[in-house]
Amino acid sequence: MKLIPAIDLKNNKVVIASKGKEREYEEISSILSPTSDPCKFINYLLSLYDFNTIYLADLDSISNFNNKNIFLQSIIQTFSNLEFIIDNGVRKYSHLYSLNNSNYIQIIGTETFEDYEILNYKKDKKYILSLDFKDGIIIAQNNNYRKICPKKVISMNLDNVGEKTGINYNNIRLINNIYPDAEIIISGGVANTEDILEAKVNNYSEIILLTAILEKNIIYSKL
């Protein structure tokens, strides 16, 4: 089972979703982490487990796309031995792969991306699609995401990010109906080792998570 720590960045700091608030974020507390500096935070994660892939979302760029994201590039470059999955809020096909790094995979999020027809025409397969769910509904700029054939799809359950409510298999079933040949990466709601093992039994091999890692609710030897 591959565990992928999820890091949200805002104002160049590591942030987490505020409890009881609608898509609002606050700097990560000292209870969960000794630091909110992104590079130091990644080093802290690596002290907990030998992760080889990091999910990195730049919330500022997701809100207002930054085509020359020097800060994000510097983080990726600092950890050249790791692979990054990057969500920086790309809107257009021309925005893809704008970061000057080789050790990352571009996320295309349905919440922001628009140019699916061009993507389909180019037959580009070097991305990961993130299907962004809210209240069981896919948030998307248009429905053309159904025309593409991604190799990997993230089931991004925005309602459950930072919560410990378990894996939302209803969303996963919907993804299976749309993309029956795609590999699904689970994100949101994972609380502990039991949730991870349940996903493994159901033949899912990659999970994006953070809260369970920081609260030390995972027994890595059981995975």
**Is the confidence at residue 159, as pLDDT, over 80?**
no
Helix-strand-coil percent breakdown of the chain, rounded to 5? 30, 25, 45
pLDDT single digits (tens) 89-116? 999 999 998 899 999 999 999 999 999 9
Q: What is the mean pLDDT of the chain?
A: 93
Burial pattern 114-143, b for ≥16 Cβ within 10 A else e, equals: bbbeebeeeebeebbbbbbbeeeebebeee
**In the prediction, which pLDDT does 24 show?**
83
Whether the per-residue pLDDT at 128 is higher than 90: the answer is yes
**CATH assignment at residue 209:** 3.20.20.70
Nearest to 87 by CA among 39, 164, 154: 154
Residue 21 has pLDDT above 70, yes or no: no
Dihedral sign computed on CA atoms, order 64, 171, 142, 153: positive
- Tally DSSP H helices, then E strands, for the chain: 7, 11
Which CA distances in Å does 118 have to 89, 91, 124, 152? 17, 12, 9, 18
Q: Going by C-beta distance under 8 Å and a sequence separation of 6 or more, which residues neighbour residue 100?
A: 73
Predicted local distance difference test score (pLDDT) of residue 23: 67
Rg (CA), the chain: 16
Domain count, the chain: 1
> 200 lies in which domain range?
2-222
Q: What is the C-alpha separation between 98 and 90, in angstroms, rounded?
A: 9
Instruction: Give the rounded percent of residues in the chain with a pLDDT score beyond 90.
Output: 82
- Per-residue model confidence (pLDDT) at position 121: 87
Confidence of residue 161 (pLDDT cuts 50, 70, 90): low
Higher pLDDT, 178 or 157: 178
Query: Higher confidence at residue 122 or residue 38?
Result: 38
| Helices marked H in 68-143 | 70-78, 116-122
What's the pLDDT band for 219 if we cut at 50, 70, 90?
Answer: very high
Distance of CA 154 to the CA centre of its chain: 7
